[in-house]
Structure 1
Amino acid sequence: MADRPEPAEIRWHAFLSHSSRDRQAVARIQRFLERYRLPDGSHLRVYRDETDIAGGELPDQLRSALSHSGCLVVCCSPAAAASRWVAREIDAFRQLAPQRPLVPVLLAGETPANLPPPLRGDELRLSDLRGRLPASLLWGKRRAELVRVLAKVAGIDFRLLLPLDRRRRRRNLLIAAAAVAVGLGAAASIPVEAWDDVTPPRARVFGCDTLDDGIALFDLNEPQAIKNIVSVHRNALGGGSPRAARLADVLPRGRLLPGGVSDAIGQRCRGSRRDWVGEPEPGVCVRLSESEQLGDFADPMGGGQAPWTDVSVGGRSALLERFWSRIDPASWQDYGTRQHPSDGLPVAASGNDLWLGFPASEFSRGGLWHSADAGANWQASQRITDVRSVRQLAIGLVVAGRRDGELGFFVRREGDFERLQAPGKGDQLEVCGELDGQPVLRADRRIYRRTTAPWWRTRIA
């Protein structure tokens, strides 16, 4: 018992473990679980990793996601049974969260050959989702099996949830039929806001940002483990073609990076290799460095003192009451081998307005800092944490992060942040920039641009 890990805080209702060969069917399961409105009005949070690594140990981010998941949904198929990666995830989950349930679902093949080795011999209730999943989303046995999986993930009695689901589907179909019959002719040409998927064909985008010549998309090259050489689609949405480049040669506007990443910007902004430097606007240098002033901290070992962070904007320095140890690039081991845009610290500038974001880490919830006087004074937002990206757009300041613990895109209006109704599914969210005054966002590996279109062209989620 002494070696059993303490249960971690649950951030995800479920972790989907699967083979990359089954990604399309698993993506449909994820959409069903996340879009389903539970009886209390809430929605599930589901973690699905798209990394495809043949061997080696589980990365730290996957072990962290497993330890913070309420259950493990194992998508079983012949490909999953042959995947050492799936087997490692099952073993790691049992080690990290031994009291939390496993939920196996059958996607293809015959039992027991389609079960990963760690599940063979276990007496587990198998949910059968074999066949064409899209046809099962309305009625029938597979719909009931999907609801059964959802009930296990949500911790709801299946015998209570299934009748509620059937009544809801009948009611929704009747409402939809009535609405279509009444408004079809009148509303056919009414323009509404929509989000177009503008991802370049065959691109696997893992980052985006605004450069001097337009929006750039960073496309993951093969092999996937090498992320410091990418295909860069410069001015991608304006017809730019991809080319191979080092990210140090295509420094993003919306990020601060360690000074050693780009010698050119490090020299212009007079930063050392250890400082964080960047140019959120041309000619505006922002630099973070270790302060000589100390702050008090408390921890289970008794606490002590540690340096704060100095922030310099165009030669004007100010104190940021955030411990330097939490953002010191020296703590980022093997940075050079995994460098990509989302590794930097989010930054945005517009005139005298400056914004600094910090992602969540093992020791911090991250946060958002604002200066309204060109960097002379800084204040932390009390509602926004775990900032993935921040940018000043025509519609206002847009942040990809968490508001009161909820992950998504948020726009600042009248001094407060409200949710931006955008395609924010998944864990990787980023504000790319804007075209013709309309925001461009990244959700996982897809790029979306807001537009207007007749209602019949929009997709009902």
Structure 2
Amino acid sequence: MDDLGEGRAPRYRAFISYSHVDGRFGRRLHRRLERYAVPRRLAGRVTARGAVPGRIAPIFRDREELSASGDLTAEVRAALAESGCLIVVCSPHAAASPWVAREVELFRSLHPDRPVLAALAAGAPPEAFPDCLRLPGADGVAVEPLAADFRPEGDGERLALLKLVAGIVGVGLDELVQRDAQRRLRAVTAVTGVALAAMLAMGALTIFALTSRTEAREQRTEAEALVEFMLTDLRTPLKEVGRLDILTAVNTRALAYYGDQDLAHLPPDSLERRARLLHAMGEDDLKRGDLEAALGKFAEAARTTGALLAAEPDKADRIWAHAQSQYWLGYVDYLRGRPAPATRAWRTYRALAGRLVAQAPENPKYLREAAYAEGNLCTLALSSPPDPVRALRACGEGLRLMQAAAARMRPGWEIAADLANRHAWLADAYRANRNEAAARAERLAEGALLTPLIAAAPKNMSLRERWIASQRALASIEYRASRIPQAQERLRQAISAIDAMIALDPANRDWAQQRVRLQENLELVSRKNREARD
């Protein structure tokens, strides 16, 4: 019998089923759904799905690959049984996934009256929908379900998300869109004040600059000071509140200022600032998932920074600016799964960072940038197809450069966290080269850095999560080396740490799921230990 019919609300608002090839999309969808706040004028309304909640969390997302037997885990079965609806991330990978099909079939058998919602992530509908979602019509021909189409040529991310929310809470899409737009408009108003004032001031400065050719240089300086404000002091708070729409408006207005200028007669520093503006706009495009728009802006910025560097090849600011262009171009190719062009761009990025270090070997900013560049190449070498030898070389050099930067900086948690991260990646490189002893040493070094950071910042949950991940990795190393008691102890410490985090925020489902996996790891290790003794 359906739990909703019994008056008892399910534990999870929804269960997200997806192929693990689509893991990036699944994680992003999970975050956006759990963070979505239902408009207050809809919250509390009683629908066929029950009372509309203020938030639709918790959402269950299975992040573990199924076992070789193909059977669903007990955790997944329990979550399906306690979910109000099922969201299926549709793509060609999902259509071919037997695990997605099993989750759909089990959910429908448990809850024939609860909705199954489709989220089209990639591919054309005929190749993206699993057969289990194609229900026969009156003529017996399979009919594709209506879907929230997240593709740019479909509904787009915002409307597609609202379609899923409407299906989960049981309200009409039109009303939800209207209420959501009203809520977003009110929320934006406060932040818009600062942005609007900046844009009006910039417009006034631009007009004033054009009224007198004799004062053009002075007015351009003031206008570009305002652009600098938009790129720094204004951009930071807007990013923190997640206002991509306001960021877009501000950046577009700033770019329009340059559109009114004769670029051929702008001084190099102004052109470089315009390139930095294009970097910022491209970064915002990436957050919206618009890789093509981001690539266009990064490519245009690279043309500018490349020309400026060619004119002043030894100037550090020009080298730095073009290095950032190469980083962003490589990052887009990395996200698109194109390792060859990503490698070319990131090798150029590394070469430019190396030129900065050669100019000022003691400059920690340049050393740190060179370490990041090596870290990027390390990441590529560990991905498909893996190159363990190249990964070890890049990861080791990244750590060496980060240590050199740290030696020339005042101690602080940011550089210490960077060092810990470099030890972690080097540990992964050693494991790829089957050097478990060296991997263990690097993980211990990572933990030695994280422990005092956590003691100094006990409320920093991100640091605690990194420490727990480190302990889990160490437990795996100990287990493979047949040091079962050590593996058990590390897992127990990790469980104790996650329990303390859950006590601070019992509603955090991500931590709860981490705890389940750690407990499963501990039970597996303990079982193997008992079998070995027997």
Is TM (by shorter chain) over 0.5?
no
Q: Which of the pair has more CA radius of gyration? A: 2
Structure with more of its chain in strand, by fraction = 1
Q: Of the two structures, which has the highest relative contact order with CA contacts closer than 8 Å and spacing of 6 or more?
A: 1
Give TM class, smaller chain: 0.3 to 0.5
Question: TM (normalized to structure 1)?
Answer: 0.44
- TM-score normalized with structure 2 length: 0.39
